[in-house]
Amino acid sequence: MLLNQFLLLAAVLFCLGVYGVITRKNGVMVLMSIEMILNAVNINLVAFGAFNGTPIGSVFALFVIAVAAAEVGIGLAIVLLIYRNKKSIDFSEVDILKG
């Protein structure tokens, strides 16, 4: 199998995640798109680890998974706080830091 087929699949998932982050207004859906981006990075890490014949790629993917779990926990807590204060999780309405 070619290395490139895994890297191109990861690139497709990454760009779909970027599209979701840009277009989505709902906070939870933005978090889902971020998860897709992190998964694309994980495919790259494991693919290069398999290509070089070391388990280091999988180790880094596991670290990314742990950090993603922490990130989604904090992100959902922030989304719940925004919902409690504004009765909406529309990210285009969250602009109190706008100058």
Partner 1 sequence: MISLIAQITTGDDLLVAQNIFWWFFALVTVLAGIKVVTTDNIVHAALYLVIVLAGVAVQFVFLGSEFAAVTQVLVYIGAIVVLLLFGIMLTRGSLGDDQLVDTERRGMGALVALLLFGLMAFSLVDGFEDVVLPEDTRNLIEVEVPIDTDIDDDEFIRTQRGSDTAAIGDTIFESYIVPFEAVSVLLLAALIGAVVIARKE
**Per-residue 3-state assignment (H helix, E strand, C coil) for 26-77:** EHHHHHHHHHHHHHHHHHHHHHHHHHHCCCHHHHHHHHHHHHHHHHHHHHHH
Is there a contact between 76 and 31 (Cβ–Cβ < 8 Å)? yes
Q: How far is the CB of 98 from partner 1 (least distance, A)?
A: 16
Give the C-alpha separation, 17 to 34, whole Å: 6
Q: How many residues bind partner 1 (CB under 8 A)?
A: 72
Residue nearer to partner 1 on the CB measure, 90 or 97 = 90
| Shortest Å, Cβ 73 to partner 1 | 5
- The reply on whether position 62 binds partner 1 by CB under 8 A is yes
The residue (of 53 and 99) whose beta carbon lies closer to partner 1 is: 53
Can residue 37 be called a binding residue for partner 1 (CB under 8 A)?
no
**Closest approach of Cβ 45 to partner 1, in Å?**
9
Question: At closest approach, how far in Å is the CB of 77 from partner 1?
Answer: 4
Residue 20 φ/ψ, nearest 5 degrees? -65, -40
Position 94 contacts partner 1 (CB under 8 A): no
